[in-house]
Amino acid sequence: MKYNRWKIKSEHWVLKEFTWFLKHIELLPSVQRIIPGRIKRSQRWTSAKLISYSYPTPSWLKFLMKKWGTVQELFITTSPEHQEHLITSILETSKRTL
């Protein structure tokens, strides 16, 4: 079942270590929508929680949320003129909140 709470779409589970981070970036004015993707097992194991930037499209940005041996895709919709600023804001926020 899909439901929306604020800007975060809740179709898939969110890794619980990243919910606080998502609530922080939800407050950024250039963020229109936050869509967590599926959770997948990773071949590479890391002990740190990490947010990494993957790639842009004309309407959204793709990030990867990583912890232990798990990776979750994160899609953030925004306008093209806000993408560069939003990428730096999200990566800085991840350093402070994780």
* Owning domain of residue 60: 3-97
Give me the pLDDT at residue 9, please: 80
Q: What is the mean pLDDT of residues 48-53?
A: 90
Count of the separate structural domains present in the chain: 1
Q: What tokens were used for 48? A: 């740190």
Q: What tokens were used for 19? A: 């919910």
Distance in angstroms (rounded) separating the CA atoms of residues 49 and 42: 13
CA angle 18, 9, 83 (to 5 degrees): 75
pLDDT at residue 15 greater than cutoff 60 = yes
Question: Global pTM?
Answer: 0.84
pLDDT at residue 22 greater than cutoff 70 = yes
